[in-house]
C-alpha cells in the first residue's frame, strides 16, 4: 500500500502525467456534456461519423505538414455543415447523411495514406489516442477547444435543453433554434477533435456516449444527470490514465473499459433495486 502511494505520487510528479490528467479531464467534461445532449437528441452516431471523417483531416494535415488537429477541425466542421445541408435539403435522413460524410472522410484519409508512406506511426496515435505523450501544443489545443465547449454548455444549457426536449415549442418562445443547433453541431466537431489525442478517433464515441448513458440509468433530474455524466466520464479518464501507466497498456482502451464497467454496474444496480 505504502509503495503504491509512493508510485502514485511519483507519477503525479512527471510533467507528461500532469498533461495527461489535465487534458483528459477537460476532454472528459466536454465529451460527456455534449454526449448527454446527443443521446437525448437521438443523434449519438453523429459522433462516430464525425470522428471517422476527422481521419481524413488528420491524414491531410500530415500530408501538408500542418498541425493535424487544425485540419481535422476544419474537415469535421465541413462534415457537420454537410450533414446539416443534406438533412435540410431533404437529400438524406440523419443516419444516411452521417454515413455519407463518414465514408467520404475515411476514404479520403485512406487514399492519402496509400499515396504517401511514412507517417503510419504518427497516424496510429491519432487513431487510438496517445494521452501519455501529449505535448504542450496538444494540451493548449485541448484546453482552448474544451473550454469553448464547456463555456457554451454552461451559458446556454437551458436553451439547448429546451430545443432538445421540444424544438417547436422552444422556437415559439423566441429561442433562435437554428443558430443554437448550428452552434451545438459545431461544438460536436470541436469536442471530437479535441478528444482525438486523448482517446483516439476509433474510441471517441465511447467517451461521448457511455458516461451519459450510465448517468441516465440513475433516473435523476437533468441537472443531476449532467453532473453524474461528468463524474462518470471524469473518473473513467482519471482512473484510466493511472491504470494504463501502472500496467503499461493503452490508455484509451482502459478508459473505455472503465466507462463500460461503470455502465454495467449502474445498470445492474437499477435492475436489482
Partner 1 sequence: MNDQPIIEVTNLDVERSNSMVIEHATFTVNRGDYVGIVGPNGGGKTTLLLALLNIIPHTQGAIRFFNQDLTTFSQWDRIAYVSQDATNFDPQFPLTVEELVGLGRLNRTTIGRRLHQADRDAVSEALRFMGISDLSHKRIGELSGGQKQRVFVAKALVRNPEILILDEPIAGIDASMLEGFYKKLSDLNAQKGITILLVSHDLTAVFCRMSKVICVNREVNIESITKDTDPNKLLKKAYGEHFHFVFHEHTCQGVFNHA
Which residue ranges make up the site for partner 1 (CB under 8 A)? Answer: 40, 155-156, 158-159, 161-162, 165-166, 168-175, 215-216, 219-225
The nearer residue to partner 1, 120 or 158, going by C-beta atoms, is 158
User: Smallest distance, Å, CB 137 to partner 1?
Assistant: 31
Alpha carbon distances (Å) from 164 to 93, 170, 264 = 18, 9, 26
The nearer residue to partner 1, 75 or 175, going by C-beta atoms, is 175
Phi, psi for residue 180 in degrees, rounded to 5: -65, -40
Distance CA 231, CA 205 (A): 17
Distance CA 6, CA 265 (A): 30
Distance CA 105, CA 3 (A): 48
The nearer residue to partner 1, 246 or 270, going by C-beta atoms, is 270
Gyration radius from the chain CA atoms: 19
Which helix (H) or strand (E) segment holds residue 139: the answer is helix 136-165
The nearer residue to partner 1, 111 or 151, going by C-beta atoms, is 151
User: Smallest distance, Å, CB 232 to partner 1?
Assistant: 14
Cα–Cα nearest to 191, from 208, 177, 206: 208
The nearer residue to partner 1, 26 or 213, going by C-beta atoms, is 213
Cα–Cα nearest to 197, from 127, 104, 100: 127
User: Smallest distance, Å, CB 180 to partner 1?
Assistant: 9
Distance CA 4, CA 103 (A): 46
The nearer residue to partner 1, 185 or 229, going by C-beta atoms, is 229
Alpha carbon distances (Å) from 227 to 23, 55, 169 = 19, 31, 26
3-state secondary structure of 33: helix
The nearer residue to partner 1, 131 or 213, going by C-beta atoms, is 213
User: Smallest distance, Å, CB 108 to partner 1?
Assistant: 36
User: Smallest distance, Å, CB 88 to partner 1?
Assistant: 17
Distance CA 53, CA 55 (A): 5
Alpha carbon distances (Å) from 224 to 87, 159, 264 = 32, 17, 19
User: Smallest distance, Å, CB 155 to partner 1?
Assistant: 5
Amino acid at each position: 500500500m505504502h509503495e503504491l502511494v509512493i508510485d502514485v505520487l511519483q507519477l503525479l510528479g512527471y510533467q507528461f502525467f500532469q498533461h495527461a490528467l489535465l487534458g483528459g479531464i477537460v476532454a472528459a467534461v466536454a465529451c460527456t456534456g455534449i454526449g448527454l445532449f446527443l443521446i437525448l437528441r437521438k443523434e449519438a452516431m453523429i459522433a462516430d461519423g464525425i470522428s471517422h471523417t476527422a481521419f481524413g483531416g488528420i491524414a491531410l494535415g500530415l500530408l501538408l505538414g500542418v498541425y493535424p488537429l487544425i485540419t481535422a477541425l476544419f474537415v469535421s466542421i465541413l462534415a457537420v455543415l454537410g450533414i446539416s445541408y443534406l438533412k435540410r435539403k431533404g437529400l438524406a435522413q440523419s443516419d444516411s447523411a452521417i454515413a455519407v460524410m463518414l465514408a467520404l472522410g475515411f476514404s479520403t484519409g485512406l487514399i492519402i495514406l496509400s499515396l504517401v508512406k511514412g507517417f503510419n506511426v504518427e497516424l496510429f496515435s491519432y487513431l487510438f489516442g496517445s494521452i501519455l505523450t501529449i505535448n504542450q501544443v496538444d494540451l493548449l489545443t485541448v484546453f482552448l477547444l474544451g473550454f469553448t465547449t464547456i463555456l457554451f454548455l454552461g451559458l446556454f444549457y437551458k436553451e439547448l435543453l429546451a430545443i432538445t426536449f421540444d424544438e417547436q415549442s422552444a422556437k415559439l418562445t423566441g429561442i433562435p433554434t437554428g443558430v443554437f443547433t448550428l452552434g451545438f453541431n459545431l461544438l460536436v466537431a470541436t469536442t471530437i477533435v479535441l478528444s482525438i489525442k486523448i482517446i483516439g478517433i476509433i474510441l471517441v464515441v465511447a467517451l461521448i456516449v457511455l458516461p451519459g448513458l450510465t448517468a441516465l440509468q440513475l433516473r435523476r433530474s437533468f441537472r443531476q444527470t449532467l453532473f453524474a455524466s461528468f463524474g462518470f466520464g471524469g473518473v473513467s479518464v482519471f482512473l484510466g490514465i493511472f491504470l494504463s501507466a501502472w500496467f503499461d497498456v493503452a490508455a484509451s482502451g482502459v478508459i473505455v473499459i472503465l466507462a463500460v464497467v461503470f455502465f454495467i454496474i449502474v445498470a445492474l444496480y437499477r435492475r436489482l433495486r
